[in-house]
Amino acid sequence: MEQLILTLFLALFTLEFLIEFGLNELNLRHVRACWDSKELPDLFTGKMTADEYDKSVQYTVASGRFQRWSEVYDRLITLVILFAVLGSLDRFAGTVAQSFSLGWYGHGIIFCLAVGLVFIATSLPTDLYATFGLEAKFGFNKTTVRLFVADKLKGLVLGLLIGVPFLFVVLWLMQAMGDYWWLWAFAFITACQFLMIVIFPTFIAPWFNKFETLKEGEFRERILALANQIGFATSGIFTMDGSKRSAHSNAYFTGIGKAKRIVLFDTLIEQMTMDQGLAVLAHEMGHYKMKHIRRMLVVQAIFLFIGLYLLSMLLKAPAFFNAFGLTSSNHAALVLFSLVSGPATFFLGPLMNRLSRKHEYEADHFAAMTLRDGKPMEEALVNLTVKNLSNLYPHPWYSAYHYSHPTAVERISAIRQTVP
């Protein structure tokens, strides 16, 4: 039985690696081949200079090369942690808990935190290179070393403040609620997610960024008029100093019900015309209006429900633990399950991306219909593509697998087809 579990896991793990590694190579080759022909897509002629196109290809190639090695590195790290580190971490957590008389829960929480720390530490090299190597080379990175360190420390503190009580409750439910603990855990985790949606914008996000209400003026008036026209209740429009970390631009809204906030990155306001910015907002409100966000939350909740049920089954199978050299315990089950479930369900990623791309088309359509004009949305898409040096020619298999958004060319063509 142990042998079977191990073989199955390694087979899926390898399959996922081969698919992702292969797709990346395919994509790199495709981008270079398109570049050799030196032709911009029709939609971009006159909107992107040859220089910008060259730069976007270089950025794509550099990212792809980085992905090639980080993929290999991440896989190796995961295997080492799974087969060589988890067992000793568990014993270490047990010893620490014992010497401070922290009991079972202490043991479990220390173990989970230690695993988390090991993952943070091992991802530092790729993290540092991505920020200060790759992104900096193409002029995107604005993060200073000081800010990078501060962000990591704040993340750790937050992880402790939220993670410790959270783990305590989950471990307690597993211990105290009998066979149906997973139903209780499901209710608890779902409630926590809702709580996070409510407290994130007002209590957590301001710790990392400065938020200011968008100053009075034409832009603000037009956004409010748009929200009014769509029937989008909002508690305010804010700008965020995204430029302190990166030159990439964005806009989003957070919160639920009437407490929704619209957040615009300062980079977006700087890089876009008012019409384009408004189109981006109409697109975002479209996601809300068409219940995309709610639907995604429901899908995630279903996955969580099934996952927790499976976990409750695995908890009763000592072979699952033995296969990875661990003794069965609630905390080992949590960690093991979160590490193993990725490779076991990797095919769900592309399916979710497919759903997400469908939502993007719908939100684009919504924006164009609301503004009674497809042009601003098209221009915003071109603008975003050029400024972010996005890959104009991803390999179709690569984008089908990885892209949560269709390419700008696909989106603009769709707008032209469906908007009169």
Active site residue 284: yes
Maximum separation of any 2 CA atoms in the chain, in Å: 72
The token pair at 213 is 């209400």
How is the beta sheet containing 261-265 ordered, strand by strand? 211-213, 236-240, 261-265, 251-254
DSSP classification of residue 246: B
Per-residue string for binding with Zn ion, 50-79, x by CB under 5 A?
Answer: ------------------------------
Confirm whether 74 is a catalytic residue. no
Q: Of 66, 67, 58, which Cα lies nearest the Cα of 20? A: 67
Smallest distance, Zn ion to C-beta of residue 110, A: 40
Smallest gap from Cβ 219 to Zn ion, in A, equals 20
What is the three-class DSSP state of 272? coil
**Closer residue to Zn ion (CB): 16 or 360:** 360
| 113 versus 368: smaller Cβ distance to Zn ion | 368
Between 331 and 411, CB nearer to Zn ion: 411
Whether the CB-CB separation of 357 and 408 falls below 8 Å is answered with no
Using the contact rule CB under 5 A, the part of the chain among 20-28, 316-324, 333-341, 358-366 near Zn ion is 358-366
70 phi and psi, to 5 degrees?
A: -70, -30
Write down the catalytic residue from 135, 284, 360, 378.
Answer: 284
Minimum distance of Zn ion from residue 364's CB (angstroms):
8
Task: Give the active site residue among 20, 90, 362, 364.
Answer: 364
Stretch that binds Zn ion, among 27-35, 69-77, 344-352, 359-367 (CB under 5 A): 359-367
Q: Which is nearer to Zn ion, 282 or 363 (CB)?
A: 363
In the stretch 361-380, what mask flags binding to Zn ion with x, by CB under 5 A?
--x-----------------
Shortest approach of Zn ion to residue 283 CB, angstroms?
Answer: 6
- Beta-carbon contacts of 52 under 8 Å, excluding residues fewer than 6 positions away, are 386, 389
Q: In this structure, are residues 263 and 240 in contact, taking their beta carbons and an 8 Å threshold?
A: yes
Interface mask (CB under 5 A) for Zn ion, residues 399-418, using x and -?
--------------------
Phi and psi at 273, nearest 5°, equal: -75, 165
By beta-carbon proximity to Zn ion, the closer residue of 290 and 304 is 290
Listed residue (395, 411, 301, 307) closest to 356, CA to CA: 411
DSSP letters spanning 346-377: TTHHHHHHHHHHHHHHHHHHHHHHHTT-SHHH
By rule CB under 5 A, what string of x and - marks binding of each residue 317-356 to Zn ion? Answer: ----------------------------------------
Q: Which are the catalytic amino acids? A: 284, 364
Kindly list the residues in this chain that would bind Zn ion in the complex (CB under 5 A): 360, 363
